[in-house]
Amino acid sequence: MPDDGRFHLTVHAEGPAADDGRIPLAELARIVGGLQVTLERIALSLETGTYAARGPRPRDVVEAVRLDFAGFRPGSVIIDITRPGQLEPDELLERSLRALEDGVAGIRAGNLPSHFTPQVVNGLRELAGGITVGNLTSITFGYSGHARFTIDSVFRERIREISPSTAEREATVVGRLQMGDFSCRAPMPRRYFRWQRAMRLRR
């Protein structure tokens, strides 16, 4: 891909599934989809300190880290990714990529970064799911002309070792409470319900 000054990220997939310059569509979707959603989750965690598992993500965060598929090259397989219509990446995208790079290194060393929410960990597990015997041996992500981090069998084992309790983070629910009942009530005795039923039968 020619160097025209635009943001350029490469994903280099290696292994039997990519040796002939092709890659199964399922693996292509896993890689590019996993990268995109993981960057969104990291960006939201960096911006707000939390991640909402449900509901729409803030549009400004999604747009800040949005990436486009730009090309495909053999060798084994190299996927080219750019920013849509922008010469320079958004500052949040740069921070998210650095956080992802540092986080992968941390997980390899047995340390889970504080901003890696359970959703980020699950996304990385899914991304590493294609690293199996007979499929892919490694997926290397590079930008600014340098290889930055690699997903391989060692990383796959490290991310699998992280327990759900280790990855659990304190969550903040943002919204407006419309109605609530915080009174403390003692359980009603059974004779009350028998009396209530008898009164209904008399009517």
- The dihedrals phi and psi of 147, each to the nearest 5 degrees, come to -70, 130
Q: How many domains would you assign to the chain?
A: 1
**Is 121 part of a structural domain of the chain?**
yes
For residue 161, give every residue at least 6 positions away whose Cβ sits within 8 Å of its Cβ, in sequence order, or none: none
19 is a domain residue: yes
Q: Is there a domain that residue 15 lies in?
A: yes
Residue 81 included in any domain:
yes
Enumerate residue ranges in the chain where pLDDT < 50: 1-2, 169-177, 180-185
Q: What predicted TM-score, i.e. pTM, was given to this entire model?
A: 0.73
Segments forming the whole domain that contains residue 123: 8-202
- The CA-CA-CA angle for residues 28, 82, 33, to 5°, reads 30
Closest to 41 in 3D by CA, of 74, 64, 24, 17: 64
Give domain status of residue 136, yes or no. yes
What would the pLDDT profile of 99-117 be if each residue is shown by its tens digit? 999 999 999 998 888 888 8
Query: Which tens digit of pLDDT belongs to each residue from 62-88?
Result: 888 999 998 888 878 999 999 887 656
- Nearest to residue 11, comparing CAs of 56, 68, 52, 92? 68
